[in-house]
């Protein structure tokens, strides 16, 4: 079995694979101050809850966009399994990840994993929309090369900024209000935030299509994908496991 871990700014996603099949997936809060020992003691109960012992794991693969946690997770996984994890980056994904990016070393590990999985599962060209702390769009062109993308504030990030700066507006649940015209304050805010995000993503995608000169499959992933994808006219697929699938592919390429 393979343990795949995607460390985001807000959430950390853990997955266990048996071959190509994702057996279990958990989401936990990301705490940027956790030590290697604390991380090890966090992941062990998750595995144990499904009857998985560290000895059952043949390896691990890690993607982290939190530099303060990258080394801690490497140490935690090394202590847990007795060997270092594969760390996702442009070099580790060589052969699966071709790019025209100016400096591949600055591409986030999650962006690399998303692009690798999207090309493998949906072909090229393909665009990934990752709804997380940031809303990331990754663009793979018709030749299968990662050519770049867009990094924008995420849905919850934008909502938090509104709540903190407009003191009379309440914190709300980010769900579809059902109509663009809000009949009360909560619905008006939901329309502005949720529909605003959907239309912004559709606008981004159409700009990308214009620059490429052709259209492509658009895959939604991330913690808010199931909420946002039905509201986006340009999204053609939803895959909440896309990043983990990319990490699995990077691991397989690195150890083969």
Rg (alpha carbons) of the chain, rounded to whole number: 19
Instruction: Give dist(CA 126, CA 195) in Å, integer.
Output: 23
Region of 168 on the Ramachandran plot (φ > 0 left; ψ -120 to 50 alpha; else beta)? alpha
Q: CB neighbours (10 Å) of residue 2?
A: 23
**Which residues lie below 8 Å from residue 149, measured CB to CB, with a gap of 6+?**
111, 128, 136, 137, 138, 139
Angle between helices 36-48 and 67-81 (to 10 degrees): 60
Spot the catalytic one: 6, 110, 130, 141: 110
Catalytic site includes residue 37: no
Give the residue numbers annotated as catalytic, written as ranges.
110
């Amino acid at each position: 079995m393979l343990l795949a871990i995607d460390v985001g700014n807000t959430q950390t996603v853990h997955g266990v694979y048996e071959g190509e099949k994702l057996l279990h997936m958990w989401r936990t809060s990301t705490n940027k101050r956790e030590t290697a020992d604390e991380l090890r003691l966090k992941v062990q109960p998750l595995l144990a809850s499904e009857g998985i012992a560290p000895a059952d794991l043949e390896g691990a693969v890690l993607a982290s966009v939190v530099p303060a946690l990258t080394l801690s997770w490497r140490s935690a996984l090394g202590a847990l399994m007795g060997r270092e994890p594969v760390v996702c980056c442009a070099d580790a994904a060589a052969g699966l990840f071709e790019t025209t990016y100016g400096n591949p070393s600055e591409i986030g590990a999650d962006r690399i994993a998303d692009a690798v999985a999207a090309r493998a599962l949906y072909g090229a060209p393909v665009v990934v929309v990752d709804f997380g702390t940031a809303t990331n769009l990754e663009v793979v062109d018709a030749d299968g090369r990662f050519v770049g993308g867009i990094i924008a504030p995420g849905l919850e990030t934008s909502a938090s900024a509104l709540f903190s700066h407009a003191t009379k507006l309440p914190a709300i649940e980010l769900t579809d209000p059902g109509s663009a015209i809000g009949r009360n304050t909560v619905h008006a805010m939901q329309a502005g935030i949720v529909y605003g995000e959907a239309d912004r993503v559709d606008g981004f995608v159409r700009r990308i299509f214009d620059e490429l000169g052709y259209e492509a499959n658009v895959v939604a992933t991330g913690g808010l994908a199931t909420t946002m994808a039905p509201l986006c006219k340009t999204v053609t697929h939803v895959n909440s496991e896309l990043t983990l699938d990319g990490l699995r592919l990077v691991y397989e390429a690195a150890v083969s």
